[in-house]
Every structure is written in C-alpha cells, then in structure tokens.
Amino acid sequence: MSKTGQWIAGINAVSSALEHDIEHVREVLVEAGNKNARIVEIEENARRRDVSVRRVSHQALEGIAGGLRHQGVIARYEAAKPMEESELPALIEAAAGKALILVLDGVQDPHNLGACLRSAAAAGVTAVIIPKDKAAPLNATVRKTSAGAADRIPVISVTNLARTLRAIKDAGVWVYGMDGEAPAPIYRTDFTGNVALVMGGEGEGMRRLTREHCDGLVKIPMPGEMESLNVSVATGIALFEAVRQRHG
C-alpha cells in the first residue's frame, strides 16, 4: 500500500506510536531544554530503537506542530493509506467463509473511530469499511486512540456505502445492522459465517439507505434504564458476540 506522512503531537500520542507502531515512526522532535521525565523517556526510547531524534526550539516546534497541542514532543508518522475498495473481494475470499466485516456508517468522533478500530483488531476482523463523507478521517487522533490498530487491519474508505453493501452481499456476506428497536437480539442471530456488522454513527444511527441494504436488523438487549450505548462500546459487544459464536 502507498504511504502518507503526517505529524502526531503530544506525549501520549508519540509514546503510543513508539510502543505500538514504531515501524511507521520516521522522526521524533523534542523541545530543547525540556526536562519533563516522560519526554526524556520518549527521547531515550526512540534513540534506543534507532529512530532519528532532533532537539529544536520551542518556536520551531510550534511552527511544525501547526496548532497541535504538542506538550514538547512531536513525531513524523508515515502511515498506510486506507485500502482500495477493489481489494475487498479478495479479502472476503481469503477468509474462506468466515469473513467478519465491520461497517461504520458515519462515525464522526475520531476517538470513537479509534476505539472501534482497536476492538476490530482485537476481534480479528477481516476488514473495516468507512464512508469517505460525513465520517472521521484516519488522522493522528484516530491512530492514537486505536493504539496502532489503524495500521494493523484493512481499513477501506468507500465513496458509496450502499453500493459497497450490495457488493459484499453478492460476495456471500450476510449484512446485519445494529438497531436498538430491532426485534431480534444479537445473541439469537447466527454470526458464524460470512457476516458484516453495521454500526450507525453518533446521534442519528444508520442512514436510511444503509438500513435498507441490511439483510436484517438486530439489537443488543439492554434491560437497564439507558436507551443506547456509545458506538464504540456497542461495536465491541457485537464483535465479540461474533467471536464467541465462532470460537466458543
């Protein structure tokens, strides 16, 4: 896959990149004279792992960070671009009847997107599909929240989500949309074969066209007093119900 470069900023973001995704970290810039113990640790860790480190002035760091809250450290990060939609059929075929696809219909909060990707990586998904419009991009915040998952699993950004859902259905994938008003609970739905789980975005949930292209709508039973869950929490529950069914 082709690469794209960007700056990630802040102690936690840079530290996480060095810990979980060092192969994509190209350079670390630290503020000269900064004695923060965690920044010293980041500098030592980067040098120990043969990542280039430069000490620069506060003014230079401010200019390169471009408004990002850097806390005295930034890193140049070269990450894989999202896969092409044309690569999806091969991924489904390679899964040999056990494809598990996560579809995120308009998740706009980068923290939620990152958390969803982290759960997807832990569940061993085949691919994650996100729309190009009205959705969070794969930016530095997403990569930080995902703890490196954004570059460990295939993430496919598509122009027309409804068309993509039709295509994966034609490839033998059953598409289930998560809907709190659905009659069928996820625990009584068969997720053992080729399955795509569709999660709606914050607030409005799935869009109408997305809903219409689902083979069925299912829900997470909630006997408590809350009417809905955060999308990243719901994603984790749904994915690991599929994992439970597949692995026992």
Please report, to the nearest 10 degrees, the dihedral formed by the alpha carbons of residues 168, 174, 178, 184 taken in order: 170
Q: What is the pLDDT of residues 172-215, one digit of tens each?
A: 999 999 998 898 999 999 999 999 999 998 878 899 999 999 99
Give the end of a domain, one of 80, 98, 121: 80
Give the end of a domain, one of 80, 98, 116: 80
More confident position, 175 or 77: 175
The CATH number linked to 102 is 3.40.1280.10
Q: Could you say which DSSP state residue 84 is in?
A: P
Secondary element (H or E) of residue 88? helix 88-94
**Does the annotation list 205 as a binding residue?**
no
CA 7, 13, 16, 20 dihedral sign is negative
**Does the annotation list 200 as a binding residue?**
yes
The answer to whether residues 76 and 100 belong to one domain is no
Is the pTM value of this prediction over 0.85? Answer: no
Q: Which residue has the tokens 């000269």?
A: 32
The answer to whether residues 150 and 51 belong to one domain is no
Whole-number pLDDT of residue 80: 61
The answer to whether residues 92 and 42 belong to one domain is no
In terms of Cβ atoms closer than 10 Å to its own Cβ (0-12, 13-18, 19+), residue 50 is exposed
The answer to whether residues 68 and 138 belong to one domain is no
The answer to whether residues 127 and 217 belong to one domain is yes
Give the end of a domain, one of 35, 52, 80: 80
**Does the annotation list 229 as a binding residue?**
yes
Which residue from 133, 134, 106, 130 is spatially nearest to 117, judged by alpha carbons? 130
The answer to whether residues 60 and 89 belong to one domain is no
The answer to whether residues 240 and 117 belong to one domain is yes
For the cut 50, the answer to whether the pLDDT of residue 105 exceeds it is yes
Q: What is the pLDDT of residues 6-24, one digit of tens each?
A: 788 899 888 888 887 787 8
The residues that bridge with 127 in the sheet, in sequence order, are: 101
Backbone angles phi, psi at 108, to 5 degrees: -100, -20
More confident position, 181 or 44: 44
Give the domain range for residue 48.
Answer: 3-80
The answer to whether residues 53 and 105 belong to one domain is no
Domain count, the chain: 2
The answer to whether residues 164 and 105 belong to one domain is yes
The answer to whether residues 158 and 103 belong to one domain is yes
Whole-number pLDDT of residue 50: 94
Q: Could you say which DSSP state residue 87 is in?
A: G
To the nearest whole percent, how much of the chain has pLDDT over 70?
Answer: 96
The answer to whether residues 67 and 186 belong to one domain is no
The answer to whether residues 67 and 116 belong to one domain is no
The average pLDDT across 79-104 equals 89
For the cut 60, the answer to whether the pLDDT of residue 45 exceeds it is yes
The CATH number linked to 55 is 3.30.1330.30
